[in-house]
Amino acid sequence: MQEKYNPEQYVGIVIGNLTQAIQILYEKGARKFGFLSLSPLGCLPALRAANPDEANKGSCFGAASSLALAHNNALSNILTSLNQVFKGFMYSNSNFYDWLQDKINNPTNY
C-alpha cells in the first residue's frame, strides 16, 4: 500500500471503509458504537527495530506515529459528522494514543 498511496490517501481509504461499515450497521439498527484510537504505531517494538536510527536515539518511528495521528483526527471528524447525520447515533471514542504515549514518555508515573 505504501507505494500506491500517500499517507493522506491511505487514511482516507481506511476512514471511508470504516464509515461504510458504520453506515451498514446503523441501517441494520445499531445506534451505539465504541472506538479506540490507534496507538503511537511508531513505538511498536517491530517498527522501532526496523528503524534503528530513531530507536537508537530513544525515539519512536515518527512517520508511523504521524499516520496514526492522522487516522485518529480523521476518525474524530467523521464521528462528529455522523453524529449530526444519523438520528440516535451515539459513540464513545477512547484516546488510546495519548494514554499510551504518556506511559511511554513518563514510565515512572506508573
Domain-located, residue 26: no
> What pLDDT score does 51 carry?
84
Domain-located, residue 61: yes
Domain that holds residue 63: 33-105
Nearest CA to 41 out of 96, 78, 105, 108 is that of 96
Domain-located, residue 4: no
Domain-located, residue 86: yes
Domain-located, residue 20: no
Q: What is the mean pLDDT of residues 40-65?
A: 86
Q: What's the predicted TM-score (pTM) here?
A: 0.87
Domain-located, residue 1: no
Percentage of the chain exceeding pLDDT 90: 80
Cα–chain center distance at 27 = 24
Domain-located, residue 51: yes
pLDDT in tens, 55-87: 677 788 999 999 999 999 999 999 999 999 999
Percentage of the chain exceeding pLDDT 70: 96
Q: Which helix H or strand E contains 94, and what residues bound it?
A: strand 90-94
How far is the C-alpha of 21 from the C-alpha of 19, rounded, in Å? 5
Domain-located, residue 23: no
How far is the C-alpha of 24 from the C-alpha of 43, rounded, in Å? 33
| Domains of the chain: total | 1
